[in-house]
Chains A and B, each alone.
Chain A
């Protein structure tokens, strides 16, 4: 649902159906809701956090889209990972501005000269020094259509420069010497658990990071 515009049913430009309540009303989506009355937004908790909500583009339902696509192509439905227990929680031992931050990109990032990824459940890992020049970054991922812009501006999926700026500004204490990447388009959850995660653990062991930022494609 959305507020604003004439009340009644609508179809947005991505073909998604919705319902508008007119000038005042709710934005309702699976992440929570916001109340917008004459431009005043309420802060609504999403999950357990207070986060500002406003009249945004509705989040795309990728699981449903994929299901419908596979169905139309005659593929069996994909069994997405659904957590059956709450996540573990590790408190930070020091604030971010005193922490060493590591970063993992699952966009299939590699440096020119490194072997690229393959697309059938590749569980290998690449080390990307934090001072790598942007023009040396490359990408290979099974969903290549999502790499069109990354291949022109790698920063859009690999935030090397932004992280450097934030460390210079003092928001982040320090950065790992090396970032890491893998090809996140792995369909076998078992291979992620049994191969990729041990590979990552080994690769990152010497970085001495306090916190890990993960950036999927």
Chain B
């Protein structure tokens, strides 16, 4: 859903005068969304800014992506030259036990904290 949301945002901001660029990993959704500048990184979802604990890869991914601002001359999707078979294998193994199930969390209006500590901290700061 994120890739659809950023496509809508990018299209609007571009129309209103701000050049935009999406660094994303869901090619079919991005094609449907037709944002102005899209750099497609063929990594699993959840790694769109690069491999975890690999700052050199993260830097390379971002450097390649943002160069699209200068290099892209018209609307389209550029496929970035990165591949990560180990990442796909890792995800496949992780999801072996959950295929065919709806993995989304319940949708209501309760804020969902990453940790209980966050919740307590936020509630204390709300006064």
Interface size on A, residues (CB 8 A): 102
A135 at the interface (CB under 8 A from B): no
Enumerate chain A residues within 8 angstroms of B16, measured Cβ to Cβ: 201
Contact assessment for A106 and B6 in the assembled complex, using a CB-CB cutoff below 8 Å:
yes
Q: A-B pairs with CB below 8 Å: how many?
A: 321
- State whether A62 and B18 are in contact (beta carbons under 8 Å apart), knowing that A115-B122, A197-B8 are contacts in the complex: no
Tell me how many residues of B have a C-beta within 8 Å of chain A.
99
Chain B minimum-CB-distance residue to A104? B9
| Contact (Cβ within 8 A) B52 A142 | no
Q: Mark B110-127, 1 if CB is under 8 A from A, else 0.
A: 111111011101100110
Contacting residue for A156 out of B17, B49, B113, CB 8 A = B49
> Is the CB–CB distance between A69 and B48 below 8 Å?
no
Is A119's CB under 8 angstroms from B105's CB?
yes
78-96 of chain B: CB within 8 A of chain A: 78-81, 83-85, 88-89, 92, 94
Q: Are A30's CB and B31's CB within 8 A?
A: yes
Which residues on A sit within 8 Å (CB–CB) of B28? Answer: 30, 59, 61-64
Closest to A211 in B: B19
Q: Which of A49, A116, A152, A155 contacts B122 (CB 8 A)?
A: A116
A residues less than 8 Å from B110 (CB atoms): 118
Q: Which residues of B contact A145 (CB under 8 A)?
A: 46, 98, 103
Q: Is the interface of A mostly helix, strand, loop or mixed?
A: loop
B83 to chain A, nearest CB (A): 5
Instruction: Collect the chain A residues with CB atoms within 8 Å of residue B88's CB.
Output: 13-14, 57
User: Could you pull out 11 A-B pairs where Cβ atoms are within 8 angstroms?
Assistant: A30-B27, A72-B100, A81-B8, A81-B33, A87-B75, A88-B11, A115-B122, A145-B103, A156-B51, A197-B12, A209-B18
Q: Contact: B23 with A214, CB < 8 Å?
A: yes
Cβ of A131 within 8 Å of any chain B Cβ, yes or no, is no
Q: Which of B48-67 contact A (CB under 8 A)?
A: 48-53, 55, 58-59, 61-63, 65-67
